[in-house]
Amino acid sequence: MTMIQITKDSFHPYEDHMNKTIHILHENFNAIRAGRANPKVLDRISIDYYGVQTPIQQVANIQVPEPRLITITPWDPTTLKAVERAIQASDLGINPNNDGKQLRLVFPALTEERRKDLVKSVNKYAEEAKVAIRNIRRDCLDKYRAHLKKKELTEDSMAEVEIALQKLTDRFIAEIDKIAAEKDKDLMEL
């Protein structure tokens, strides 16, 4: 029976999964609109463009001419109404102004109550990311415990695995806390 060797590369697949979790957290945070106009809030909105669900960025020019304004100018003027309907149907909470050639999204200043709701959303996304990180840690530990049970791993090696995996988990949890704190601060700025 061969013994499993623990190397510094042993946890790369799990670290990659944890990095993907951080990436998804960033995407979720980008979709939360702060008081300033950010074109990333449109990333999740698609229109039916000739029978294919197409992101708005692929059918229109998106600009931020002022801190609280986004303009959307479709390259194909016939898609203007479809883009307008998609924005209205989204959870963005902004009604676009249509001048016949382009849409204007005016971002109102956030009320204190709305800011607190957005901070709750940030905290919810952060907690979901932490749970995902912990689940990845659990999956890794389960894999190594199975090796231990088959006597392909020693008790000492298993202890090393647990310590190394906990350090990795702690590093990612700290990163999530840092990212969430930055987003909270961004939302609470006037």
Give the pLDDT confidence score for residue 4 in this predicted structure. 72
Give the pLDDT confidence score for residue 135 in this predicted structure. 96
Q: What separation in angstroms does the CA of 40 have from each of 14, 19, 29, 70, 71?
A: 28, 20, 10, 11, 13
Q: Is the pLDDT of residue 1 over 70?
A: no
CA distance 75 to 121: 34
CA distance 144 to 38: 44
**What is this structure's pTM?**
0.72
CA neighbours closer than 13 Å in the CB half-sphere of residue 33: 27
Q: Which residues pair with 55 in a beta bridge?
A: 46
3 backbone dihedrals φ, ψ, rounded to 5°: -90, 145
CA neighbours closer than 13 Å in the CB half-sphere of residue 44: 13
Which helix (H) or strand (E) segment holds residue 156: the answer is helix 155-188
Share of the chain above pLDDT 70, in %: 95
Higher pLDDT, 77 or 107: 77
Q: CA torsion, points 87, 26, 181, 12, in degrees to nearest 10? A: 160
Across 3-17, 18-32, 41-55, least confident range: 3-17
CA distance 180 to 178: 5
CA distance 56 to 44: 9
